Amino acid sequence: MWFKSAASNSGGGTGGRRSAPSILSEGFRVDGDIASSGEVHVAGTLIGNVVAGKVTLGESGSINGSVEAETAIINGALQGRLVAVNVILGRSAQVRADVVYCSMRIEPGAVFEGYSRRVERENLSEGEGKQLLPALKALRPAEHSEAVAPAQAGE
């Protein structure tokens, strides 16, 4: 409906279609966690954690919590923790977080305060990012139809 995928891009559990991103608009605030198998765009305020296939934090957006994604594009304020395979800190990013990544690009003008740790993709399933890849696989509708239970402390 929103996006038409090419025949070469078909796959997944949506019948060959890419689903529209979930959007937390400017002026909207969420206190809680968000989990999505697709894209999440944050232009408002999220006080909590987000696990998604792709997370885009807009210039007016802020997240106070952890972000776990295959791809994270940060242009707003992030405070907490970021674990992603691909990370892009845009020119307007204000990141005060520890970051675990496979690939990271920091554009001129971005502010980054915290620790960063580069890992190989196969090592994300161990150690620092041990919950990322299993969590993303569990969110994929074609592979898992049950609801995702929130992670408990100490797991």
What pLDDT sits at residue 62? Answer: 97
Q: What is the pLDDT of residues 92-129, one digit of tens each?
A: 999 999 999 999 999 999 999 999 999 987 766 555 55
Residues near 66 by beta carbon (within 8 Å), at least 6 away in sequence: 49, 50, 80, 81, 82, 83
Max CA separation in the chain (angstroms): 43
Nearest 5°: phi and psi at 124?
-70, -25
For residue 153, pLDDT over 60 is answered with: no
Q: Alpha-carbon dihedral of residues 25, 26, 31, 33, nearest 10 degrees?
A: 40
Residue 133 confidence class, pLDDT cut points 50, 70, 90: low
What pLDDT sits at residue 135? Answer: 55
Contact 98, 81 (CB under 8 A): yes
Mean pLDDT across the chain, nearest whole number?
Answer: 80
Contact 3, 21 (CB under 8 A): no
What pLDDT sits at residue 129? Answer: 55
What pLDDT sits at residue 33? Answer: 95
The full length of the chain comes to 155
Q: What is the pLDDT of residues 16-42, one digit of tens each?
A: 567 889 999 999 999 999 999 999 999
For residue 1, pLDDT over 50 is answered with: no
What pLDDT sits at residue 82? Answer: 96
- pTM as predicted: 0.73
Question: How many percent of the chain have pLDDT more than 70?
Answer: 67
Q: What is the pLDDT of residues 43-102, one digit of tens each?
A: 999 999 999 999 999 999 999 999 999 999 999 999 999 999 999 999 999 999 999 999
Please tell me the distance from the alpha carbon of residue 101 to that of residue 83, in angstroms, as a whole number. 6
What pLDDT sits at residue 122? Answer: 75
